[in-house]
Amino acid sequence: MLIASTLLALSLSLSASASLAHSHLTSPRRSHEALTRRGGRPHKRCSIKPTTPVLTSEPAPTSAPIPTSTSTPGSEGGASGGSVTLSRGIPSEGIRGVNLGAWFVFEMYMAYDEWQSMGGHTDGCDAEFELTGRLGQDAADAAFKTHWDTWITQDDVALMKKYNLNSVRIPIGFWIIESTVNADETYPRGGLEFLKRGCKWLREAGISVLLDLHAAPGASSPHQTFAGRCVDTPGFWGNQDNIDRHVKAGTELMRLVHTDPDSFGSVYGMEVLNEPPNDAGASPGYQDFLQQFVNAVRGVEDDLNIPQDERLTMVFMDISWQYGDGKANPATIESGGNAYDKHTYFNWGPPGGPQGSAGHSLDEHVSFVCNGDAGQIAADAQQNNTPLFKGEWWLLPSNKADNSGPVFDLWDKDSVRRFGDAQKRGFSPDGGMGGAGYYFWSWKMTNSDGDGLNHMRSYKDAVAGGWMHEDAAQYFNPNGGC
């Protein structure tokens, strides 16, 4: 079992390699595998993306950005009161949220012990498709039922409320709608009832929900547990049957949201697809897929006569997510009522933005995030990708320029607090950069691999240890250190 220093050294070498190969590229949520996985196995996400968008002339969006709700805005230092309304839309004080990762799309690095106890492998890519196939359907259904029942509980929801979180992003796989699963596919069954139960708890707590379609039929990315199955070549892109099944999952979820308000009354949005390949050339037909998806789910709302102000927000990865010829601009999707999602992770290497890199020091990291990821919020807005929130981030920093270690001691509470405060502030409305808020990745991790870094990536552990403020609307540092 690798100790933290050894894992960090592994991350440094990976960072250096990426930097040499792509001096102007970065990749979010990438090096946690290098930092946390044993035996030096490949990290969970290994693709890369450009840090500076090409500001081309793009058509204006065909529908206005979504309105914010009328919930009580926070004060300059962060309000401790003011609950989110349950109207459809982003709260005016901004999103203060967490991801409920590994609940309905199990990513094994987040809970090695539980994954192994269920029969999972940890010596390579292993996802729900593979585990279900090995266990057999009935045994897998029983194992996942226990997981769904215990991973997120009503006590967790009460704690989120106590911490003044006002929203959650819930990653789900298409297979939660079981009618979309082909006979030759192996995914656990029964998750929908637990999703309903959890969303009802969240509604009762006044916490809004973004349903995030994290995993698509055939897998949208290679060698990724977040894709739901491990493949060398994604089977989603260019396969109309798989695209149609993903769209069907979206339409059925949309129907459920609007016809079961007792369960889904605080769901404000649906994210069409999490993290398609960064290289636009690896996702042929992405723009057409987005339009097909939106047409279909809006058609459900039309059939149900849903008023405009009660329709769900459609959420897309922002335009800066991809690079290369033919990359999609989701702002051009018709009938959107859109919001946009950006993911930023530092520990794979300093991310970049239109105004430059996050650098190799804590001061540079803080300056980068306080300025809306070095102007990325403003650059996205120029291409109509607004409102923009940061849908995934955590507390792990980049490494020093000489690769001698992270830019700050990972157990230095003042530094961790400063970095966390700044990341919150930079994308929150009170930061003044135009951001709509954030979702921390993730609410809960158990890891059990002995690296001691859960306080950097598990929100509930970070708050319990005093690394993050117990009131999500408050900062340890004045103005979030910005």
- Burial class for 124, CB neighbours closer than 10 Å (0-12, 13-18, 19+): exposed
Residue of 167, 273, 285 lying closest to 226 (CA atoms):
273
Mode of pairing for the β-strands spanning 356-357 and 352-353: antiparallel
Return the beta strands (E) in 126-260 as ranges: 167-173, 208-215
For the chain, count helices (H), then strands (E). Answer: 14, 12
394/12 Cα distance (integer angstroms): 18
Q: Tell me the sheet residues that pair with 339.
A: 315
Indicate which residue of 275, 301, 364, 470 is catalytic.
275
332/60 Cα distance (integer angstroms): 7
Indicate which residue of 107, 114, 271, 392 is catalytic.
392
**Residue 392 annotated in active site:** yes
Residue pair 176/104 in contact (Cβ under 8 Å)? The answer is yes
92/167 Cα distance (integer angstroms): 12
DSSP 27: -
**Host H or E run for residue 172:** strand 167-173
Residue pair 101/226 in contact (Cβ under 8 Å)? The answer is no
- Using DSSP, state whether 60 is helix, strand or coil: coil
69/90 Cα distance (integer angstroms): 6
Residue pair 79/473 in contact (Cβ under 8 Å)? The answer is yes
Q: Tell me the sheet residues that pair with 25.
A: 50
Residue pair 209/195 in contact (Cβ under 8 Å)? The answer is no
- Using DSSP, state whether 260 is helix, strand or coil: coil
Residue type, 271: E
**Residue 470 annotated in active site:** no
Q: Which residues does the annotation mark as catalytic?
A: 275, 392
